Amino acid sequence: MEPDPALFQDNERTTPDHEGRQFASVGALKCAGGLLPEVTIAYETWGELNAARDNAVLVCHAVSGDSHAVGWWDRIVGPGRAIDTDHFFVICSNTLGGCQGSTGPAGIAPDGMLWASRFPMISVENMVEAQIRLIEHLGIPKLRAVIGGSMGGMQAIEWTLQRPGLVDLAILTASCASHSAMQIGFNEAARQAVLRDPKFRGGDYPLDDPPVDGLSIARMIGHLSYLSEASFDRKFGRRLQDKEHFDYSWSPEFQVESYLNYQGDKFTRRFDANSFLVLTRAIDYYSRTTFAGSKSRYLILSYKSDWLYPTHQSITMESMARDAGCRVERYEIDLPLGHDSFLLDGDKQGTYIKSVLASDLSCHHN
């Protein structure tokens, strides 16, 4: 099976869209590392809220995502898709600490200067509190579902525990309830690439001269963990880049080297280094050891080839949900695309999501 070409088009697939963005002020927020006196959340919506105001679905993005879910998750969100915007009112916000419109390190503080290094450490719990306030701002009393992959899955978990009963169904895909030492290690290696870039300047770099080298390397490290060995082998093998023989130089010789350099460099044009640090630190801090108190249903999905968020972590979450007395379904999907499978699998993943949303819809109206 040849890997999906879109697997190697990350930047093209996730290019932010400013056109449909809306903004909500959600007030002051006490964060893990200090107070944010005023928080703005950027968000987008698709579909229509019904008269009963009970068809809202919140989509939560991963670290490098943004509010444009119909872009980075176009195989799952849209008309006729698993999360059908013809039937559901779909909301996706740029997370707190992000760099695509929501309050984050690249934003302006009350004194008129960039937050930069002064931006406080945040937690997944803080991200979800800001989202809860957004949903209240939109006048939605309860969510039909919250869904997310990777970091988005952690946010979905937190929704069910921070405000029990506020969400009927949580869909967690390629995620976990707390990072392992290896997952923290990958994030730390990527963070150090940024922190050790001379242009980082302790986090107080000008936006027109950011630490692009460090952030580019951080993204390369990420890509190596997001994909599977089989995907890399089938796409690149040991093929050379635009040549038949080695140059015996430090310039990229292999196709895979050229690919990683391209993805890393292009990522720096759409993402902020401080946001990368803040968000990866937040998910490393996150840890839930019980789902006690939850009143939600869960659908938990994992991928056999995902060695970054392996299936045993999903099995742990399933046990936590059952121990809490919650209804839960769990499935492992056999696709050879690695962690990024959750972004591209509109077929098998989509079938499970569509089914559980339909059964939830049926239960809701009986």
State pLDDT tens for residues 332-343: 999 999 999 999
One domain, residues 176 and 193: no
Answer whether 115's CB lies under 8 Å from 39's CB: no
Quickly state the pLDDT bin for 7 (edges 50, 70, 90). low
Instruction: Copy the structure tokens of residue 205.
Output: 């770099």
Q: Taking residues 99-122, report their average pLDDT.
A: 97
- What pLDDT score was predicted for residue 359? 85
What percentage of the chain exceeds 70 in pLDDT?
93
Answer whether 176's CB lies under 8 Å from 201's CB: no
The residue count of the chain comes to 366
Q: For residues 307 and 183, give the distance between their C-alpha atoms in angstroms, rounded to a whole number.
A: 10
One domain, residues 24 and 165: yes
Q: Taking residues 112-130, report their average pLDDT.
A: 98
Q: For residues 143 and 131, give the distance between their C-alpha atoms in angstroms, rounded to a whole number.
A: 12
Answer whether 71's CB lies under 8 Å from 13's CB: yes
DSSP string, 160-213: HHHSTTSEEEEEEES--SB--HHHHHHHHHHHHHHHTSGGGGGG---TTS--HH
Which of 225, 246, 280 finishes a domain? Answer: 280
**SS3 category, 24:** strand
Q: Taking residues 270-279, report their average pLDDT.
A: 98
Residue 282 has pLDDT above 80, yes or no: yes
Q: Taking residues 235-254, report their average pLDDT.
A: 93
Quickly state the pLDDT bin for 19 (edges 50, 70, 90). confident
One domain, residues 246 and 310: no
Q: For residues 234 and 153, give the distance between their C-alpha atoms in angstroms, rounded to a whole number.
A: 29
One domain, residues 293 and 276: no
One domain, residues 176 and 275: no
Q: Taking residues 248-255, report their average pLDDT.
A: 94
Query: Tokens 């379904």 appear where?
Result: 329
Residue 69: partners with Cβ closer than 8 Å, 6 or more residues away: 44, 46, 59, 61, 77, 90, 92
One domain, residues 49 and 160: yes
One domain, residues 29 and 153: yes
Quickly state the pLDDT bin for 6 (edges 50, 70, 90). low
Our CA angle for 151, 30, 194, nearest 5°, is 50
Quickly state the pLDDT bin for 20 (edges 50, 70, 90). confident
- What pLDDT score was predicted for residue 366? 33
b/e per residue, 93-105, with b = 16+ CB within 10 A? bbbbbbbbbbbbb
DSSP string, 108-171: B-TTSSB-GGGSPP--HHHHHHHHHHHHHHTT-S-EEEEEEETHHHHHHHHHHHHSTTSEEEEE
Catalytic residue ranges: 150, 306, 339
- What pLDDT score was predicted for residue 362? 44
**What's the farthest any 2 CA atoms get from each other in the chain?**
70
Q: Containing domain of residue 225, as a range?
A: 183-280
DSSP string, 60-78: E--TT--S-HHHHTTTTEE
Instruction: Copy the structure tokens of residue 195.
Output: 């922190």
State pLDDT tens for residues 177-217: 999 999 999 999 999 999 999 999 999 999 999 999 999 99
Q: Taking residues 261-267, report their average pLDDT.
A: 94
- What pLDDT score was predicted for residue 10? 59
One domain, residues 57 and 153: yes
Residue 13 has pLDDT above 80, yes or no: no
Query: Tokens 């959750």 appear where?
Result: 342
Which of 280, 314, 339 finishes a domain? Answer: 280
Residue 23: partners with Cβ closer than 8 Å, 6 or more residues away: 40, 41, 42, 43, 101
Which of 219, 247, 280 finishes a domain? Answer: 280
User: Which of 105-109, 208-212, 356-360 has the least mean pLDDT?
Assistant: 356-360
Residue 364 has pLDDT above 70, yes or no: no
State pLDDT tens for residues 63-84: 999 999 999 999 999 999 999 9
What percentage of the chain exceeds 90 in pLDDT?
92
Q: What total of structural domains would you count in the chain?
A: 2
Distances (CA, A) of 258 to 3, 146, 235, 253, 338: 18, 37, 13, 8, 20
Residue 17 has pLDDT above 70, yes or no: no
Quickly state the pLDDT bin for 130 (edges 50, 70, 90). very high
What rounded mean pLDDT belongs to the chain? 94
CATH number of domain containing 223: 1.10.1740.110
